[in-house]
């Protein structure tokens, strides 16, 4: 049986936001990363999410980043704009800006730190969804937000016409079954659980490891979709060193993905903004070894 339809493509990367050595947004670097990802197995990119260090960027910078991505990508792939914050008015402002720039969809994380509860979550999702005509991908990542999106909020949000998909990073692939019954397209938000999500009805992945291994991750999805589950497992097993290296350090995401982009020659530096710090020499060596072991370097 084939995988369910994937409204934004099967493989997307939550892409990094390149900064110059002084910490300013690097539009040329943004374009290079976006182009590289679409040339290496990705159907699209998710911009200004967690891996894009969105808590550290301004509204103006988010617009600059999106325009650089759109200039580089054109119509070759899907562009999903991260608009999630812990302020509803701020998220509305970002969503309106993203629609004007011409993105394909927005990613809306549950508000972090505030922990508004089921009613507050629904209010937040509703206000942002109604601010534009763009499709909305909810993002459920309780390890970062402090709370999972409860079932009653998912049920109510599913009645909003534009809320159509979920990036699910709760560690529970089984939840995909219930989400699909509500009408959601479900994307794995966890590289290490990709096969579990596909097995339970997920349609694809929003990945971090795909910065370095997009073509391999795409192969896993395509093999699974073709019914070659043993082959998908074999390909995925070969990727485990990369997944573990990318996701296995405390400040994974922007730090490891930027380091991978530098090792692959896409970026010339891996500047991150505080409170993140670059990988240390030991972490960088482990990432290099993992990419070499997987045949990616």
> Cβ(216)–Cβ(294) under 8 Å?
yes
User: Can 252 be counted among the known catalytic residues?
Assistant: no
Q: What one-character DSSP code corresponds to residue 139?
A: E
Closest-CA residue to 258 (of 81, 65, 14): 14
Instruction: Please count the helices (runs of H) and the strands (runs of E) in the chain.
Output: 12, 8
Which pair of structure tokens corresponds to residue 15?
């892409």
Catalytic residue among 36, 70, 139, 258: 139
Q: How far apart (Å, rounded) are the C-alpha atoms in residues 281 and 279?
A: 7
User: Can 36 be counted among the known catalytic residues?
Assistant: no
Q: How far apart (Å, rounded) are the C-alpha atoms in residues 8 and 114?
A: 29
Assign 3-class secondary structure to 218-282: HHHHHHHHCCCHHHHHHHHHHHHHHHHHHHCCCCCCHHHHHHHHHHCCCCCCCCCCCCCCCCCHH
Catalytic residue among 36, 70, 154, 167: 167
Nearest 10 degrees: CA dihedral of 118, 122, 123, 128? 140
> Cβ(264)–Cβ(214) under 8 Å?
no
Q: How far apart (Å, rounded) are the C-alpha atoms in residues 276 and 237?
A: 30
The residues that are catalytic are 139, 167
């Amino acid at each position: 049986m084939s995988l369910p339809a994937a409204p934004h493509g099967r493989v997307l990367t939550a892409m990094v936001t390149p900064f110059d050595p002084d910490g300013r947004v690097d539009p040329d670097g943004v374009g290079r990363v976006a182009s590289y990802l679409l040339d290496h197995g990705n159907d699209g990119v998710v911009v200004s999410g967690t891996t894009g260090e969105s808590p550290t960027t301004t509204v103006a910078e988010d617009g600059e980043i999106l325009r650089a991505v759109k200039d580089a990508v054109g119509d070759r792939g899907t562009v999903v704009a991260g608009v999630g914050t812990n302020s509803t008015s701020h998220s509305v402002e970002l969503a309106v800006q993203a629609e004007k720039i011409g993105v394909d969809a927005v990613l809306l994380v549950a508000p972090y730190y505030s922990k508004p509860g089921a009613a507050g979550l629904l209010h937040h999702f509703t206000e942002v969804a109604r601010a534009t005509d763009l499709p909305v991908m909810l993002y459920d990542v309780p390890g970062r937000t402090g709370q999972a999106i409860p079932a009653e909020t998912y049920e109510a949000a599913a009645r909003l016409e534009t809320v159509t998909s979920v990036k699910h990073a709760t560690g529970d692939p089984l939840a995909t079954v219930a989400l699909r019954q509500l009408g959601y397209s479900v994307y794995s938000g966890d590289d290490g659980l990709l096969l579990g999500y596909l097995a339970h009805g997920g349609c694809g992945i929003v990945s971090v490891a795909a910065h370095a291994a997009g073509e391999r991750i795409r192969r896993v999805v395509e093999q699974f979709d073709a019914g070659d589950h043993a082959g998908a497992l074999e390909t995925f097993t070969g990727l485990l060193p990369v997944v573990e290296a990318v996701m296995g350090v405390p400040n994974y995401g922007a730090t490891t993905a930027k380091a991978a982009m530098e090792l692959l020659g896409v970026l010339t530096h891996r500047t991150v903004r505080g409170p993140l710090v670059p990988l240390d020499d030991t972490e960088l060596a482990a990432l290099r070894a993992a990419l070499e072991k997987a045949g990616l370097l």
